[in-house]
Each structure stands twice: as C-alpha cells, then as structure tokens.
C-alpha cells in the first residue's frame, strides 16, 4: 500500500509538472507569435541590440547577453526558413532570427521557472491545497508572460535565479550549514552577473531569516555575507569595465507625470494587494510587507531611473511575495 501510495504521489507530481511546463510553453509561444511587438521593436536586430546592450547599465548584464548571442549564432548555422513563422514587424530592420532568439531564451527560462515554482509549492513549508498550488503557479506564469511586451534577454532568466535562490533558502532555513550558505552565495553571484534585481534575493533572505530568528546573529551573519557578495560582484564588474554607470538617467518626473507610467504604479499596487489578499495568515502578510520594506532601495531605483510602465520591474517582487504568502516559517525546524 505504501509503494502504491508513493507511486500515485509521484504520478500526480509528474502530471502537474507536465501541465505547468506545457502551460508556460504555450502561453509564451502565443505572446511571441500572436502579437506584433511595439515597445521593443527597435532592438529586434543584431546590430541595434549589440549597441544598446554593450553600453550604459546594460553592459554589466553579461550572462544573458552571452546567452542571447550564443542562441543567435547557433540559429545562423541552421537552414531555417523564417517565413513559416509569418512574423510582422513594425521596424524594417527587425530580424526574425533575433526575435526567435529572444523567444527561445525566454521560453526556456519561463518553463524552468514554472517547474521550480511547482517544486517549491510541493515542499512541506508551503501551505496550500493542490488546486491552489496549480493556480498560484499559473498566475505567476501569466504574470511573467504578459509583461514581456518589453522584450529583453535578462528578465525571465532573472526570475528563474530568484526562484532558485528561494528554493535553496528554504533548505538553508532547515539546516544552517556552511554548504547551504555557499550555494546561496554562488546563486547570488550568478544572478548579479545577469541583472541587478539579484539584490531582491538579499531582501528575501533578510525577511525569512528575521521571521525565524529575529535580529540575532543567525539572521545578521548570512545577510551580511550575501550583501557583501552582491557588492563585490556589482562593483567588480564596473572596475573591470573601467566604468561606474549605475543607471541611465533620471526619469522621476516622467514617472509621476505621464499617464502610462501612473498606470504602472497601479499595476504595482493591484498585484501587491493580490498577494496580501491570498496570504495564509497575518504572519504571512507581515512578511510580505517586510519584504517590500527591505526592497525599498530597489523600488526607489525603479522609480528614479526605470520606466514604471515597464511593469516587468515589479514581477520579481510579485513572484517572491506570491511564494511568501503561503510559506509557513514555523514549520521549518
């Protein structure tokens, strides 16, 4: 009976995993192949993409840059008839090969993110019914997909790395070993080479560690180590490039004056309220709020130098809050 029960559980997990990965693949495919992109149309060719992503703050997001170039070059070796995709571009300079490279990279990481999110919902610390687990992961998948009207190579991969950090942070909370901390440090280093949103992983660690230990050395030491890791990689890349660009200009006035950016603020508020509403209890709600408090440096940088209409900026906070909303720290011993 025990063997049959285990077999049924594995079969159920496999069926859910298969569904959620197919969902991610299907939704992202429709996003890329069924709509004409307006927002990112000017970088959908190799030359313009290279120019933009080798300058300013983009030049430090090296991991995703190498990946997109590798996919583009791999596609160059294949004899693909791009007319079968029936792409329609607003810019005459747009290349089907470049667009397909974005699609492949972001779809792979969306599928991986969806799978990892499902595995987190299956941990003993995640409090939800089977239906709620599938629905929560599905919401995350749709949120990651629809915000890709801004097409970039580093967003979806950064979501995956943040979710991966969450997964191993739960393991660290269960066993505060040096090995588990080293894994978190390595993930954070890779994540920082990909995008600065890796700093949110530190906010997450501070939130969950504080929730478990309070303001004690068990909380302060790992957070300090993670913070120093981020600082070392962040500034190390700037020393190597002999450039210290941290943003691409002040957009504060535009964010509070242009209607589309005010709409972006509304998106942040609505999706924040969503995580608060579905939170399992008051403790989870406090952790979501605490996570947002620890994320204030990131939020301020988004408002100062980001475009709030690019709602992708809130997605890493939203996904993390979604997981926090159902994570029971008291079950971690």
The DSSP code sequence of 44-66 is -SHHHHHHHTTSGGGGG-HHHHH
pLDDT at 332: 73
pLDDT band of 12, cuts 50, 70, 90: confident
User: Cβ of 17: how many Cβ atoms within 10 Å?
Assistant: 15
Average pLDDT over residues 295-302: 96
Give, as one character, the DSSP assignment of residue 246: -
Q: Is residue 109 a contact partner of residue 156, using CB atoms and an 8 Å limit?
A: yes
Our CA angle for 205, 206, 211, nearest 5°, is 100
pLDDT at 243: 66
Return the closest-CA partner of residue 295 out of 181, 203, 216. 203
Instruction: Please give the mean pLDDT across all residues of the chain.
Output: 92
pTM > 0.85: yes
Tokens 């596609």, located at residue: 75
First to last CA, the chain: 29
pLDDT at 53: 79
Q: How far is CA 188 from CA 3, 158, 244, 263, 292, in A?
A: 39, 10, 21, 31, 19
pLDDT at 309: 95
Average pLDDT over residues 323-330: 93
**Region class of 258: left (phi > 0), else alpha (psi between -120 and 50), else beta:** beta
pLDDT at 265 over 60: yes
Return the closest-CA partner of residue 302 out of 238, 221, 225, 247. 247
pLDDT at 248: 60
pLDDT at 32 over 70: yes
pLDDT at 242: 66
pLDDT at 245: 61
Query: Which residues, in sequence order, are bridge partners of residue 327?
Result: 126
pLDDT cut 70: percent of the chain above it: 96
pLDDT band of 300, cuts 50, 70, 90: very high
pLDDT at 314: 98
pLDDT at 35: 86
SS3 130: helix
Burial class (CB in 10 A: 0-12, 13-18, 19+), 227: middle
Average pLDDT over residues 235-263: 82
Question: How many alpha carbons fall within 13 Å on the CB side of residue 256?
Answer: 6
pLDDT band of 128, cuts 50, 70, 90: very high
pLDDT at 123: 93
Q: How far is CA 298 from CA 119, 202, 302, 303, 314, in A?
A: 27, 11, 6, 9, 10
SS3 279: coil
pLDDT at 112: 98
CA distance linking residue 277 with residue 229, whole number of Å: 34
pLDDT at 167 over 80: yes
């Amino acid at each position: 009976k025990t063997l049959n029960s285990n077999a049924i559980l594995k079969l159920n997990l496999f069926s859910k995993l298969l569904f959620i990965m197919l969902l991610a693949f299907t939704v992202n495919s429709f996003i890329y192949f069924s709509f004409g992109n307006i927002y990112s149309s000017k970088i959908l060719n190799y030359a313009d993409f290279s120019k933009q992503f080798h300058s300013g703050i983009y030049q430090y997001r090296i991991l995703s840059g190498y990946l997109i170039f590798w996919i583009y070059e791999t596609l160059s070796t294949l004899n693909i008839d791009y007319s079968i995709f029936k792409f329609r571009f607003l810019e005459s300079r747009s290349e089907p090969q470049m667009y397909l490279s974005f699609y492949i990279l972001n779809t792979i990481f969306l599928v991986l993110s969806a799978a990892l999110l499902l595995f987190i919902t299956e941990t003993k610390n995640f409090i939800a019914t089977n239906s709620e687990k599938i629905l929560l992961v599905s919401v995350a998948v749709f949120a990651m997909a629809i915000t890709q009207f801004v097409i970039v190579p580093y967003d979806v991969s950064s979501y995956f790395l943040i979710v991966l950090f969450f997964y191993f942070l739960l393991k660290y909370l269960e066993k505060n070993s040096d090995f588990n901390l080293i894994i978190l440090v390595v993930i954070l280093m890779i994540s920082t080479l990909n995008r600065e949103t890796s700093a949110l992983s530190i906010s997450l660690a501070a939130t969950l560690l504080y929730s478990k230990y309070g303001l004690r050395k068990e909380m302060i030491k790992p957070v300090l180590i993670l913070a120093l890791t981020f600082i070392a990689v962040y500034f190390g890349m700037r020393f190597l490039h002999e450039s210290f660009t941290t943003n691409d200009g002040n957009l504060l006035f535009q964010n509070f004056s242009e209607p589309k950016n005010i709409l972006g603020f509304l998106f942040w508020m609505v999706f924040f309220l969503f995580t608060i509403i579905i939170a399992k209890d008051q403790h989870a709600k406090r952790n979501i709020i605490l996570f947002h408090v620890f994320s204030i440096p990131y939020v301020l940088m988004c408002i100062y130098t980001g475009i709030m209409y690019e709602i992708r900026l809130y997605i890493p906070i939203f996904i993390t809050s979604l997981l926090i909303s159902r994570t029971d720290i008291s079950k971690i011993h």
